[in-house]
């Protein structure tokens, strides 16, 4: 039995098609998850100072949920929180900086054991971001704020 011969041009096609598909997929995720929606209002071109956490995860939702598992960098300070994505996944995801005054923070229960902290945006009500309570606690400690102090009373 003879192996199937692959044409010589197939390598060149792959070198063009794969990066194009990667970028198209990344852009589609930013659109469906809501990143593109938030970019219109919260795009950041300046470096953000504050406490930074790398390789973090979050879920974002607009038309469908998109999980950014281990590819986020978050930076928090007294004014707000910055979100950016690592290079290979960055196409269609410019950095964001969202002021605390433009978001609401709430606790969300998922299934039985999975709790999340949700950021919602009154100016962009269709979009939300969820992070783990552990990461939320680190952010609160860094900015010396307790989002849920009134809820326990």
The CATH number covering residue 131 comes to 2.30.29.30
Using alpha carbons, list the distances in angstroms from residue 61 to 36, 41, 143, 153. 11, 16, 25, 30
* Mean pLDDT along residues 62-86: 91
pLDDT at 36 over 60: yes
| Residue of 30, 148, 152, 50 lying closest to 99 (CA atoms) | 50
Separation between Cα atoms, residue 114 and residue 108, nearest integer Å? 9
How many independent structural domains does the chain possess? Answer: 1
Separation between Cα atoms, residue 128 and residue 109, nearest integer Å? 15
Structural domain for 66, as ranges: 33-152
**2: buried, middle or exposed (CB in 10 Å: 19+, 13-18, 0-12)?**
exposed
Backbone angles phi, psi at 135, to 5 degrees: -65, -40
pTM exceeds cut of 0.85 = no
pLDDT of residue 37: 93
Backbone angles phi, psi at 40, to 5 degrees: -60, -35
What is the band of 73 on the pLDDT scale with cuts at 50, 70, 90?
A: very high
pLDDT in tens, 105-123: 998 877 666 789 999 999 9
pLDDT of residue 39: 94
Whether residue 13 lies inside any domain: the answer is: no
pLDDT in tens, 119-148: 999 999 999 999 999 999 999 999 988 887
Angle among Cα 123, 127, 130 to the nearest 5 degrees reads: 120
Whether residue 101 lies inside any domain: the answer is: yes
Chain mean pLDDT for the chain:
87
Separation between Cα atoms, residue 126 and residue 149, nearest integer Å? 26
pLDDT at 43 over 60: yes
Whether residue 20 lies inside any domain: the answer is: no
Q: Identify the DSSP state of 43.
A: B
pLDDT of residue 153: 41
């Amino acid at each position: 039995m003879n192996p199937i011969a692959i044409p010589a041009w197939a390598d060149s096609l792959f070198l063009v098609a794969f990066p194009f598909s990667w970028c198209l997929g990344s852009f589609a995720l930013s659109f469906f998850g809501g990143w593109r929606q938030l970019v219109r209002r919260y795009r950041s071109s300046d470096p953000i100072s504050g406490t930074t956490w790398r390789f973090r995860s979050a879920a974002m939702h607009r038309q469908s949920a998109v999980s950014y598992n281990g590819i986020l960098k978050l930076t928090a300070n007294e004014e707000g929180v910055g979100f950016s994505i690592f290079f290979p996944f960055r196409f269609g995801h410019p950095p964001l900086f969202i002021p605390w005054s433009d978001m609401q923070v709430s606790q969300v229960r998922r299934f039985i054991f999975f709790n999340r902290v949700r950021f919602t945006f009154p100016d962009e009500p269709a979009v939300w971001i969820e992070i783990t309570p552990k990461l939320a606690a680190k952010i609160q400690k860094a900015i010396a704020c307790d989002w849920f102090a009134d809820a326990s009373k």
